[in-house]
A and B are shown apart, each in its own frame.
Chain A
Amino acid sequence: MDNAWLHRFAVMVAVCTFLLVVAGSLVTSNDAALSVPDWPLSYGRLVPPLEGGIRYEFAHRAMALLVAILTITLAVWLERAEPRRWIRRLGWAAAVAVLLQAILGGAAVRLITPKAVTIAHACLAEICFGLVVAIVVGQELRLDSFSWAVETPAPLVAAIALFGQAILGAMVRYGLTGVAFHIIGAAIATILVMWAGLRIPLRRPALALLTLTFSQVFLGLGSYMARVVNLATPQPMPLTIAFTVAHVAVGSLAFGAAIALTMAPPVAHGGVALA
Protein backbone atom coordinates (compact mmCIF):
# COMPACT_ATOMS: atom_id res chain seq x y z
CA MET A 1 0.00 0.00 0.00
CA ASP A 2 1.50 3.28 -1.12
CA ASN A 3 -0.41 5.42 1.24
CA ALA A 4 -1.57 3.48 4.26
CA TRP A 5 -3.08 6.48 6.01
CA LEU A 6 -5.08 7.50 2.97
CA HIS A 7 -6.47 3.97 2.84
CA ARG A 8 -7.31 3.99 6.54
CA PHE A 9 -9.01 7.31 6.05
CA ALA A 10 -11.07 5.91 3.17
CA VAL A 11 -12.11 2.98 5.35
CA MET A 12 -13.19 5.41 8.06
CA VAL A 13 -15.23 7.39 5.51
CA ALA A 14 -16.89 4.15 4.42
CA VAL A 15 -17.74 3.25 8.02
CA CYS A 16 -19.11 6.75 8.70
CA THR A 17 -21.16 6.66 5.49
CA PHE A 18 -22.63 3.33 6.55
CA LEU A 19 -23.48 4.72 10.00
CA LEU A 20 -25.09 7.70 8.27
CA VAL A 21 -27.34 5.35 6.27
CA VAL A 22 -28.31 3.65 9.54
CA ALA A 23 -29.04 7.05 11.13
CA GLY A 24 -31.19 7.96 8.14
CA SER A 25 -33.23 4.80 8.45
CA LEU A 26 -33.67 5.51 12.16
CA VAL A 27 -35.20 8.88 11.20
CA THR A 28 -37.69 7.26 8.84
CA SER A 29 -38.52 4.38 11.18
CA ASN A 30 -39.26 6.77 14.02
CA ASP A 31 -41.35 8.95 11.69
CA ALA A 32 -39.09 11.84 12.67
CA ALA A 33 -38.13 13.32 9.29
CA LEU A 34 -40.38 16.35 9.68
CA SER A 35 -39.73 16.92 13.38
CA VAL A 36 -37.40 19.73 12.32
CA PRO A 37 -39.36 21.74 9.73
CA ASP A 38 -36.52 24.10 8.78
CA TRP A 39 -33.28 23.38 6.91
CA PRO A 40 -30.31 23.88 6.93
CA LEU A 41 -30.84 25.39 10.39
CA SER A 42 -32.75 23.39 12.99
CA TYR A 43 -35.39 25.36 14.91
CA GLY A 44 -33.56 28.44 13.71
CA ARG A 45 -30.35 27.43 15.43
CA LEU A 46 -27.28 25.30 14.89
CA VAL A 47 -28.31 22.86 17.61
CA PRO A 48 -32.03 22.40 18.24
CA PRO A 49 -33.61 21.24 21.53
CA LEU A 50 -32.78 17.54 21.59
CA GLU A 51 -36.09 15.89 22.42
CA GLY A 52 -38.43 13.35 20.84
CA GLY A 53 -38.03 12.89 17.09
CA ILE A 54 -35.70 15.90 16.86
CA ARG A 55 -32.94 13.74 18.37
CA TYR A 56 -32.99 11.36 15.37
CA GLU A 57 -33.34 14.05 12.75
CA PHE A 58 -30.60 16.21 14.22
CA ALA A 59 -28.21 13.28 14.72
CA HIS A 60 -28.75 12.47 11.04
CA ARG A 61 -28.04 16.07 10.00
CA ALA A 62 -24.92 16.35 12.15
CA MET A 63 -23.56 13.05 10.84
CA ALA A 64 -24.38 14.08 7.29
CA LEU A 65 -22.34 17.25 7.71
CA LEU A 66 -19.45 15.20 9.07
CA VAL A 67 -19.64 12.67 6.22
CA ALA A 68 -19.84 15.45 3.63
CA ILE A 69 -16.66 17.02 5.05
CA LEU A 70 -14.93 13.63 5.24
CA THR A 71 -15.90 12.69 1.69
CA ILE A 72 -14.70 15.99 0.23
CA THR A 73 -11.48 15.63 2.21
CA LEU A 74 -11.09 12.14 0.81
CA ALA A 75 -11.57 13.43 -2.74
CA VAL A 76 -8.97 16.15 -2.24
CA TRP A 77 -6.53 13.74 -0.61
CA LEU A 78 -6.98 11.19 -3.40
CA GLU A 79 -6.46 13.92 -5.96
CA ARG A 80 -3.08 14.69 -4.39
CA ALA A 81 -1.86 11.23 -3.43
CA GLU A 82 -3.58 8.61 -5.55
CA PRO A 83 -1.72 7.76 -8.77
CA ARG A 84 -4.64 6.03 -10.48
CA ARG A 85 -6.94 8.44 -12.22
CA TRP A 86 -10.03 6.25 -11.95
CA ILE A 87 -9.81 6.17 -8.16
CA ARG A 88 -9.33 9.94 -8.07
CA ARG A 89 -12.47 10.25 -10.16
CA LEU A 90 -14.37 7.90 -7.87
CA GLY A 91 -13.38 10.26 -5.06
CA TRP A 92 -14.90 13.26 -6.83
CA ALA A 93 -17.97 11.25 -7.81
CA ALA A 94 -18.46 10.38 -4.12
CA ALA A 95 -18.06 14.04 -3.15
CA VAL A 96 -20.61 15.17 -5.74
CA ALA A 97 -23.00 12.39 -4.71
CA VAL A 98 -22.80 13.27 -1.02
CA LEU A 99 -23.46 16.95 -1.76
CA LEU A 100 -26.43 16.08 -3.96
CA GLN A 101 -27.61 13.83 -1.17
CA ALA A 102 -27.48 16.72 1.29
CA ILE A 103 -29.50 18.87 -1.12
CA LEU A 104 -32.05 16.07 -1.55
CA GLY A 105 -32.29 15.73 2.23
CA GLY A 106 -32.88 19.44 2.59
CA ALA A 107 -35.42 19.38 -0.24
CA ALA A 108 -37.27 16.51 1.46
CA VAL A 109 -37.63 18.65 4.59
CA ARG A 110 -38.45 21.93 2.86
CA LEU A 111 -40.95 20.42 0.40
CA ILE A 112 -42.54 18.29 3.19
CA THR A 113 -41.27 14.88 2.07
CA PRO A 114 -42.57 14.45 -1.48
CA LYS A 115 -42.30 10.72 -2.20
CA ALA A 116 -40.05 11.13 -5.25
CA VAL A 117 -37.52 13.19 -3.31
CA THR A 118 -37.58 10.90 -0.28
CA ILE A 119 -37.13 7.77 -2.39
CA ALA A 120 -34.33 9.43 -4.39
CA HIS A 121 -32.69 10.33 -1.07
CA ALA A 122 -32.84 6.69 0.06
CA CYS A 123 -31.39 5.45 -3.26
CA LEU A 124 -28.64 8.05 -3.51
CA ALA A 125 -27.58 6.99 0.00
CA GLU A 126 -26.77 3.55 -1.40
CA ILE A 127 -24.84 5.13 -4.28
CA CYS A 128 -22.81 7.27 -1.86
CA PHE A 129 -21.92 4.23 0.21
CA GLY A 130 -21.21 2.15 -2.90
CA LEU A 131 -18.81 4.79 -4.28
CA VAL A 132 -16.80 4.95 -1.06
CA VAL A 133 -16.68 1.14 -0.90
CA ALA A 134 -15.42 1.15 -4.49
CA ILE A 135 -12.64 3.56 -3.48
CA VAL A 136 -11.62 1.37 -0.54
CA VAL A 137 -11.61 -1.78 -2.66
CA GLY A 138 -9.83 0.00 -5.50
CA GLN A 139 -7.08 1.09 -3.14
CA GLU A 140 -6.58 -2.51 -2.03
CA LEU A 141 -6.57 -3.98 -5.51
CA ARG A 142 -3.54 -2.15 -6.89
CA LEU A 143 -4.88 -2.48 -10.40
CA ASP A 144 -3.25 -0.26 -12.93
CA SER A 145 -6.39 0.35 -14.85
CA PHE A 146 -10.00 -0.08 -14.03
CA SER A 147 -11.96 -3.02 -15.37
CA TRP A 148 -15.27 -4.46 -14.37
CA ALA A 149 -14.83 -8.12 -13.42
CA VAL A 150 -13.54 -9.44 -16.69
CA GLU A 151 -14.28 -13.07 -16.17
CA THR A 152 -17.97 -12.92 -15.40
CA PRO A 153 -20.69 -10.28 -15.29
CA ALA A 154 -22.32 -12.13 -12.35
CA PRO A 155 -21.24 -9.82 -9.50
CA LEU A 156 -22.14 -6.71 -11.47
CA VAL A 157 -25.56 -8.12 -12.23
CA ALA A 158 -25.97 -9.03 -8.55
CA ALA A 159 -24.96 -5.51 -7.49
CA ILE A 160 -27.50 -3.99 -9.89
CA ALA A 161 -30.18 -6.35 -8.58
CA LEU A 162 -29.38 -5.38 -4.99
CA PHE A 163 -29.57 -1.69 -5.89
CA GLY A 164 -32.91 -2.36 -7.58
CA GLN A 165 -34.05 -3.95 -4.35
CA ALA A 166 -33.03 -0.81 -2.44
CA ILE A 167 -35.18 1.28 -4.79
CA LEU A 168 -38.13 -1.12 -4.45
CA GLY A 169 -37.68 -1.24 -0.67
CA ALA A 170 -37.84 2.54 -0.48
CA MET A 171 -40.93 2.53 -2.72
CA VAL A 172 -42.64 -0.01 -0.47
CA ARG A 173 -41.73 2.04 2.55
CA TYR A 174 -43.31 5.19 1.17
CA GLY A 175 -46.37 3.37 -0.10
CA LEU A 176 -45.64 3.82 -3.80
CA THR A 177 -45.92 0.12 -4.50
CA GLY A 178 -47.08 -3.03 -2.73
CA VAL A 179 -44.65 -5.38 -1.08
CA ALA A 180 -45.13 -8.06 -3.80
CA PHE A 181 -42.58 -6.56 -6.23
CA HIS A 182 -40.02 -6.29 -3.45
CA ILE A 183 -40.52 -9.96 -2.57
CA ILE A 184 -40.23 -11.08 -6.20
CA GLY A 185 -37.16 -8.85 -6.44
CA ALA A 186 -35.72 -10.53 -3.35
CA ALA A 187 -36.06 -13.95 -4.96
CA ILE A 188 -34.38 -12.73 -8.16
CA ALA A 189 -31.62 -10.90 -6.29
CA THR A 190 -30.91 -13.94 -4.13
CA ILE A 191 -30.58 -16.19 -7.18
CA LEU A 192 -28.27 -13.66 -8.86
CA VAL A 193 -26.17 -13.37 -5.72
CA MET A 194 -25.87 -17.16 -5.54
CA TRP A 195 -24.82 -17.21 -9.19
CA ALA A 196 -22.22 -14.53 -8.47
CA GLY A 197 -21.06 -16.45 -5.39
CA LEU A 198 -20.51 -19.57 -7.46
CA ARG A 199 -18.70 -17.76 -10.26
CA ILE A 200 -16.27 -15.90 -8.05
CA PRO A 201 -13.22 -17.74 -6.77
CA LEU A 202 -12.78 -15.30 -3.89
CA ARG A 203 -14.28 -17.41 -1.14
CA ARG A 204 -14.38 -14.94 1.73
CA PRO A 205 -16.09 -11.94 0.12
CA ALA A 206 -18.38 -14.20 -1.86
CA LEU A 207 -19.39 -15.93 1.36
CA ALA A 208 -19.92 -12.55 3.00
CA LEU A 209 -22.19 -11.46 0.17
CA LEU A 210 -24.19 -14.70 0.37
CA THR A 211 -24.55 -14.48 4.15
CA LEU A 212 -25.62 -10.84 4.00
CA THR A 213 -28.15 -11.52 1.28
CA PHE A 214 -29.71 -14.45 3.10
CA SER A 215 -29.87 -12.49 6.37
CA GLN A 216 -31.45 -9.71 4.38
CA VAL A 217 -34.32 -11.95 3.30
CA PHE A 218 -35.06 -12.88 6.90
CA LEU A 219 -34.77 -9.29 8.11
CA GLY A 220 -37.14 -8.26 5.33
CA LEU A 221 -39.65 -10.89 6.46
CA GLY A 222 -39.17 -9.70 10.03
CA SER A 223 -39.81 -6.06 9.16
CA TYR A 224 -42.89 -6.99 7.19
CA MET A 225 -44.30 -9.21 9.92
CA ALA A 226 -43.55 -6.68 12.66
CA ARG A 227 -45.34 -4.08 10.56
CA VAL A 228 -48.38 -6.29 10.06
CA VAL A 229 -48.56 -7.21 13.74
CA ASN A 230 -48.27 -3.56 14.77
CA LEU A 231 -50.56 -2.20 12.07
CA ALA A 232 -53.06 -0.88 14.59
CA THR A 233 -50.57 0.65 17.00
CA PRO A 234 -50.72 4.43 17.29
CA GLN A 235 -46.95 4.99 17.09
CA PRO A 236 -43.87 3.22 15.64
CA MET A 237 -43.06 0.14 17.72
CA PRO A 238 -39.51 -0.80 18.83
CA LEU A 239 -39.63 -4.23 17.14
CA THR A 240 -40.64 -2.73 13.78
CA ILE A 241 -37.99 -0.05 14.10
CA ALA A 242 -35.28 -2.60 14.96
CA PHE A 243 -36.13 -4.93 12.06
CA THR A 244 -36.48 -2.13 9.53
CA VAL A 245 -33.22 -0.42 10.49
CA ALA A 246 -31.38 -3.77 10.41
CA HIS A 247 -32.94 -4.49 7.00
CA VAL A 248 -31.65 -1.20 5.60
CA ALA A 249 -28.22 -1.67 7.22
CA VAL A 250 -27.67 -5.22 5.96
CA GLY A 251 -29.05 -4.22 2.55
CA SER A 252 -26.37 -1.54 2.27
CA LEU A 253 -23.66 -3.97 3.37
CA ALA A 254 -24.80 -6.55 0.81
CA PHE A 255 -24.75 -3.88 -1.91
CA GLY A 256 -21.24 -2.88 -0.79
CA ALA A 257 -20.07 -6.50 -0.81
CA ALA A 258 -21.45 -6.97 -4.33
CA ILE A 259 -19.54 -3.90 -5.49
CA ALA A 260 -16.38 -5.27 -3.89
CA LEU A 261 -16.88 -8.54 -5.77
CA THR A 262 -17.56 -6.71 -8.99
CA MET A 263 -14.19 -5.04 -8.75
CA ALA A 264 -12.27 -8.02 -7.44
CA PRO A 265 -9.68 -9.40 -9.84
CA PRO A 266 -10.12 -13.00 -10.95
CA VAL A 267 -7.38 -14.26 -8.65
CA ALA A 268 -7.81 -15.94 -5.32
CA HIS A 269 -7.05 -14.02 -2.13
CA GLY A 270 -7.32 -10.51 -3.46
CA GLY A 271 -7.34 -9.37 0.14
CA VAL A 272 -10.76 -7.79 0.04
CA ALA A 273 -11.32 -6.93 3.66
CA LEU A 274 -14.96 -6.06 3.43
CA ALA A 275 -17.49 -7.41 5.92
Chain B
Amino acid sequence: MRKFWIGSGLVSALVAAAFTLASCGGGSTEAPKTADSGAAPAGGPAATPDMDNGGTITGKVTFDGTAPKMAILDTSANPVCAKAHASSPLRSEEVVVNPNGTLKNVFVWVSAGLPADKTWQVPSTPVEIDQNGCEYKPHVIALMAGQNLSIKNSDPTNHNIHPQPSVNQEFNESQAPGTPPIDKTFPRQEIMIPVKCNVHNWMRSYINVVSSPFFAVTGDDGTFSIKGLPPGTYTLEIVHEKYGKQDQQITVGAKESKTADFTVKG
Protein backbone atom coordinates (compact mmCIF):
# COMPACT_ATOMS: atom_id res chain seq x y z
CA MET B 1 0.00 0.00 0.00
CA ARG B 2 1.60 3.21 1.08
CA LYS B 3 5.11 1.81 1.34
CA PHE B 4 5.12 0.89 -2.32
CA TRP B 5 4.45 4.46 -3.30
CA ILE B 6 7.19 5.52 -0.95
CA GLY B 7 9.45 2.98 -2.66
CA SER B 8 8.61 4.30 -6.09
CA GLY B 9 9.23 7.82 -4.81
CA LEU B 10 12.66 6.76 -3.60
CA VAL B 11 13.53 5.36 -7.00
CA SER B 12 12.48 8.59 -8.69
CA ALA B 13 14.46 10.59 -6.15
CA LEU B 14 17.50 8.41 -6.91
CA VAL B 15 17.10 9.05 -10.61
CA ALA B 16 16.61 12.78 -10.08
CA ALA B 17 19.71 12.87 -7.88
CA ALA B 18 21.67 10.98 -10.53
CA PHE B 19 20.67 13.49 -13.19
CA THR B 20 21.58 16.41 -10.95
CA LEU B 21 24.97 14.92 -10.18
CA ALA B 22 25.51 14.19 -13.84
CA SER B 23 24.71 17.70 -14.96
CA CYS B 24 26.99 19.12 -12.27
CA GLY B 25 29.76 16.84 -13.47
CA GLY B 26 29.18 17.82 -17.06
CA GLY B 27 29.39 21.51 -16.28
CA SER B 28 32.86 21.39 -14.82
CA THR B 29 34.61 22.48 -17.98
CA GLU B 30 34.36 26.24 -17.45
CA ALA B 31 37.60 26.88 -15.65
CA PRO B 32 40.69 25.76 -17.53
CA LYS B 33 43.18 24.19 -15.14
CA THR B 34 46.13 24.89 -17.39
CA ALA B 35 47.08 27.75 -19.64
CA ASP B 36 44.52 28.37 -22.30
CA SER B 37 44.65 29.88 -25.71
CA GLY B 38 42.19 31.51 -27.99
CA ALA B 39 41.72 34.46 -25.65
CA ALA B 40 42.38 37.90 -27.07
CA PRO B 41 46.15 38.38 -27.06
CA ALA B 42 47.16 41.01 -24.51
CA GLY B 43 50.60 41.62 -25.96
CA GLY B 44 49.72 42.24 -29.60
CA PRO B 45 48.94 39.89 -32.46
CA ALA B 46 49.59 36.14 -32.36
CA ALA B 47 53.25 35.25 -32.85
CA THR B 48 54.81 32.57 -35.03
CA PRO B 49 58.07 30.71 -34.33
CA ASP B 50 61.04 32.66 -35.70
CA MET B 51 62.62 30.03 -37.95
CA ASP B 52 65.50 32.30 -39.04
CA ASN B 53 66.66 33.74 -35.74
CA GLY B 54 65.14 31.47 -33.11
CA GLY B 55 66.86 28.75 -31.11
CA THR B 56 66.62 25.03 -31.79
CA ILE B 57 66.46 22.08 -29.41
CA THR B 58 67.10 18.66 -30.85
CA GLY B 59 67.51 15.38 -29.09
CA LYS B 60 66.57 11.77 -28.87
CA VAL B 61 64.86 9.50 -26.38
CA THR B 62 66.87 6.36 -25.72
CA PHE B 63 65.28 3.27 -24.25
CA ASP B 64 67.36 1.64 -21.53
CA GLY B 65 66.57 -2.02 -20.90
CA THR B 66 65.07 -4.97 -22.70
CA ALA B 67 62.36 -3.95 -25.10
CA PRO B 68 59.06 -5.35 -23.76
CA LYS B 69 57.18 -7.66 -26.07
CA MET B 70 54.38 -5.83 -27.81
CA ALA B 71 51.14 -7.50 -26.72
CA ILE B 72 49.09 -9.14 -29.45
CA LEU B 73 45.64 -7.61 -29.75
CA ASP B 74 42.60 -9.84 -30.25
CA THR B 75 40.77 -8.33 -33.20
CA SER B 76 38.41 -11.26 -33.74
CA ALA B 77 35.41 -9.23 -32.49
CA ASN B 78 35.23 -7.64 -35.91
CA PRO B 79 35.99 -9.78 -39.02
CA VAL B 80 37.03 -6.68 -40.98
CA CYS B 81 39.75 -5.95 -38.42
CA ALA B 82 40.83 -9.56 -38.20
CA LYS B 83 41.12 -9.68 -41.99
CA ALA B 84 43.25 -6.53 -42.05
CA HIS B 85 45.78 -8.29 -39.82
CA ALA B 86 45.47 -11.80 -41.20
CA SER B 87 49.15 -12.07 -42.14
CA SER B 88 50.61 -10.74 -38.88
CA PRO B 89 48.65 -9.94 -35.74
CA LEU B 90 47.97 -6.38 -34.61
CA ARG B 91 50.11 -5.41 -31.63
CA SER B 92 49.68 -2.89 -28.86
CA GLU B 93 51.68 0.29 -29.42
CA GLU B 94 51.88 1.07 -25.71
CA VAL B 95 55.68 0.65 -25.85
CA VAL B 96 57.40 0.77 -29.24
CA VAL B 97 61.18 0.48 -29.10
CA ASN B 98 62.77 1.37 -32.43
CA PRO B 99 65.48 -0.84 -34.03
CA ASN B 100 68.07 1.80 -33.04
CA GLY B 101 67.18 1.43 -29.36
CA THR B 102 65.14 4.61 -29.11
CA LEU B 103 61.57 5.03 -27.90
CA LYS B 104 58.77 5.89 -30.31
CA ASN B 105 55.59 7.86 -29.53
CA VAL B 106 57.14 10.08 -26.87
CA PHE B 107 55.51 13.49 -26.64
CA VAL B 108 58.07 16.28 -26.20
CA TRP B 109 57.16 19.87 -25.37
CA VAL B 110 58.28 23.14 -23.86
CA SER B 111 56.24 22.96 -20.67
CA ALA B 112 57.49 26.17 -19.06
CA GLY B 113 59.59 29.26 -19.76
CA LEU B 114 57.76 30.82 -22.68
CA PRO B 115 56.76 34.48 -22.30
CA ALA B 116 53.41 34.49 -20.55
CA ASP B 117 51.95 37.42 -22.43
CA LYS B 118 52.56 35.93 -25.84
CA THR B 119 49.94 34.06 -27.82
CA TRP B 120 50.91 31.90 -30.72
CA GLN B 121 49.43 31.67 -34.16
CA VAL B 122 47.33 28.55 -34.59
CA PRO B 123 48.25 26.74 -37.84
CA SER B 124 45.41 26.66 -40.33
CA THR B 125 46.35 23.17 -41.52
CA PRO B 126 44.57 20.40 -39.61
CA VAL B 127 46.31 17.51 -37.88
CA GLU B 128 45.06 14.15 -39.06
CA ILE B 129 44.23 11.02 -37.12
CA ASP B 130 43.21 8.01 -39.16
CA GLN B 131 41.33 4.92 -38.09
CA ASN B 132 43.07 2.48 -40.32
CA GLY B 133 43.32 -1.30 -39.91
CA CYS B 134 41.34 -0.88 -36.67
CA GLU B 135 44.11 1.12 -35.06
CA TYR B 136 44.82 4.81 -34.76
CA LYS B 137 47.47 6.25 -37.02
CA PRO B 138 49.42 7.86 -35.55
CA HIS B 139 49.22 6.46 -32.04
CA VAL B 140 50.22 9.73 -30.39
CA ILE B 141 48.96 13.03 -31.75
CA ALA B 142 50.07 16.55 -30.90
CA LEU B 143 48.43 19.78 -32.01
CA MET B 144 47.88 23.31 -30.88
CA ALA B 145 44.91 24.42 -28.84
CA GLY B 146 42.31 25.58 -31.34
CA GLN B 147 43.92 23.74 -34.24
CA ASN B 148 41.68 21.49 -36.30
CA LEU B 149 41.88 17.75 -35.73
CA SER B 150 40.65 15.86 -38.76
CA ILE B 151 39.40 12.41 -37.79
CA LYS B 152 39.39 10.01 -40.73
CA ASN B 153 37.99 6.53 -41.11
CA SER B 154 39.84 4.59 -43.80
CA ASP B 155 38.38 1.27 -42.68
CA PRO B 156 35.47 -0.54 -44.29
CA THR B 157 33.90 -0.75 -40.81
CA ASN B 158 32.35 1.47 -38.14
CA HIS B 159 34.26 3.17 -35.35
CA ASN B 160 33.28 5.39 -32.50
CA ILE B 161 35.85 7.93 -31.42
CA HIS B 162 35.77 8.79 -27.75
CA PRO B 163 38.44 11.07 -26.26
CA GLN B 164 38.41 11.33 -22.46
CA PRO B 165 39.81 14.76 -21.63
CA SER B 166 39.54 16.35 -18.21
CA VAL B 167 39.74 20.06 -19.07
CA ASN B 168 38.44 19.94 -22.64
CA GLN B 169 34.99 18.83 -23.76
CA GLU B 170 34.49 15.08 -23.92
CA PHE B 171 32.76 13.71 -27.01
CA ASN B 172 31.78 10.35 -28.45
CA GLU B 173 30.85 10.08 -32.12
CA SER B 174 30.40 7.20 -34.48
CA GLN B 175 31.94 7.21 -37.91
CA ALA B 176 30.63 4.94 -40.63
CA PRO B 177 32.90 3.69 -43.42
CA GLY B 178 33.17 6.08 -46.35
CA THR B 179 31.90 9.09 -44.41
CA PRO B 180 33.81 12.40 -44.51
CA PRO B 181 36.31 13.24 -41.76
CA ILE B 182 35.01 14.64 -38.46
CA ASP B 183 36.59 17.99 -37.56
CA LYS B 184 37.24 18.76 -33.91
CA THR B 185 39.20 21.32 -31.94
CA PHE B 186 40.36 21.29 -28.35
CA PRO B 187 40.41 24.85 -26.98
CA ARG B 188 42.50 24.15 -23.87
CA GLN B 189 45.99 22.89 -23.24
CA GLU B 190 45.90 19.30 -22.07
CA ILE B 191 48.52 16.57 -22.23
CA MET B 192 47.89 12.89 -23.02
CA ILE B 193 44.13 12.83 -23.51
CA PRO B 194 43.25 9.13 -23.85
CA VAL B 195 41.25 8.24 -26.94
CA LYS B 196 39.20 5.06 -27.19
CA CYS B 197 37.03 3.17 -29.60
CA ASN B 198 34.38 1.08 -27.87
CA VAL B 199 33.46 -0.89 -30.97
CA HIS B 200 37.05 -2.16 -30.92
CA ASN B 201 38.07 -2.19 -27.30
CA TRP B 202 41.79 -2.50 -28.11
CA MET B 203 42.00 0.81 -30.00
CA ARG B 204 43.94 3.46 -28.04
CA SER B 205 45.54 6.71 -28.87
CA TYR B 206 46.60 9.89 -27.08
CA ILE B 207 46.03 13.49 -28.06
CA ASN B 208 48.25 16.29 -26.75
CA VAL B 209 46.95 19.83 -26.93
CA VAL B 210 49.49 22.63 -26.45
CA SER B 211 48.99 26.39 -26.36
CA SER B 212 52.37 27.04 -28.03
CA PRO B 213 53.78 25.56 -31.25
CA PHE B 214 56.86 24.14 -29.49
CA PHE B 215 56.27 20.41 -29.33
CA ALA B 216 57.09 17.17 -31.15
CA VAL B 217 56.42 13.44 -31.06
CA THR B 218 59.27 10.95 -31.53
CA GLY B 219 58.99 8.72 -34.56
CA ASP B 220 60.83 5.71 -35.99
CA ASP B 221 64.27 7.12 -35.13
CA GLY B 222 63.38 8.36 -31.65
CA THR B 223 64.53 11.91 -32.33
CA PHE B 224 62.79 15.24 -32.01
CA SER B 225 63.48 18.78 -33.06
CA ILE B 226 61.86 21.97 -31.79
CA LYS B 227 62.69 25.07 -33.82
CA GLY B 228 62.15 28.83 -33.74
CA LEU B 229 62.29 29.31 -29.98
CA PRO B 230 62.75 32.83 -28.66
CA PRO B 231 66.01 33.10 -26.66
CA GLY B 232 65.39 31.96 -23.10
CA THR B 233 65.52 29.23 -20.50
CA TYR B 234 62.93 26.51 -20.86
CA THR B 235 61.66 23.37 -19.24
CA LEU B 236 61.62 20.67 -21.86
CA GLU B 237 59.38 17.82 -20.84
CA ILE B 238 58.89 14.38 -22.33
CA VAL B 239 55.77 12.33 -21.65
CA HIS B 240 55.23 8.67 -22.44
CA GLU B 241 51.95 6.83 -21.90
CA LYS B 242 53.60 4.08 -19.89
CA TYR B 243 56.82 5.53 -18.56
CA GLY B 244 55.48 8.95 -17.57
CA LYS B 245 57.29 12.28 -17.46
CA GLN B 246 60.85 13.60 -17.37
CA ASP B 247 62.16 17.10 -17.85
CA GLN B 248 65.31 19.13 -18.39
CA GLN B 249 66.13 22.82 -18.01
CA ILE B 250 67.67 24.18 -21.16
CA THR B 251 68.79 27.63 -22.28
CA VAL B 252 68.95 28.62 -25.93
CA GLY B 253 70.10 31.87 -27.47
CA ALA B 254 69.20 33.36 -30.83
CA LYS B 255 70.18 31.08 -33.72
CA GLU B 256 71.65 28.70 -31.20
CA SER B 257 71.23 24.93 -31.39
CA LYS B 258 71.16 22.82 -28.24
CA THR B 259 70.89 19.09 -27.70
CA ALA B 260 68.70 17.53 -25.03
CA ASP B 261 68.82 13.74 -24.90
CA PHE B 262 66.66 11.67 -22.60
CA THR B 263 66.91 8.11 -21.39
CA VAL B 264 63.81 6.18 -20.39
CA LYS B 265 64.34 3.13 -18.20
CA GLY B 266 62.24 0.12 -19.15
Contacts and interface: CB of A to CB of B under 8 A. Distances in A.
B1 A146 contact: yes
B77 interface: yes
Contact of A96 (B11, B25, B198): B11
Given A36-B160, A93-B8, A107-B22, A53 B14 contact: no
Nearest to A97: B11
A112 interface: yes
Interface stretch (A7-15, A119-127, A193-201, A267-275): A119-127
Interface stretch (B33-41, B49-57, B199-207): B199-207
A116 B174 contact: no
Interface string B63-99: 0000000010110011111000000000010100000
Interface in B193-246: 196-202, 204
Given A124-B14, A146-B1, A234-B94, A117 B22 contact: yes
Contacts of B1: 85-86, 89, 146
A119 B26 CA distance: 16
A111 B158 contact: no
A40 to B, nearest CB: 15
A30 interface: yes
Nearest to B174: A37
B73 A234 contact: yes
Contact of A112 (B8, B81, B171, B199): B171
A30 B14 contact: no
Contacts of B201: 30-32, 52-53, 235-236
A49 interface: yes
A249 interface: no
Nearest to B22: A114
B18 to A, nearest CB: 4
Contact of B11 (A31, A54, A100, A119): A100
B44 interface: no
A208 to B, nearest CB: 25
Interface of B: 1, 4-5, 7-8, 11-12, 14-15, 17-19, 21-22, 25-26, 71, 73-74, 77-81, 92, 94, 157-158, 160, 162, 170-174, 176, 196-202, 204
Interface of A: 30-38, 43, 48-49, 51-55, 57, 85-86, 89-90, 92-93, 96-97, 100, 103-104, 107, 111-112, 114-117, 119-120, 123-124, 127, 146, 233-236
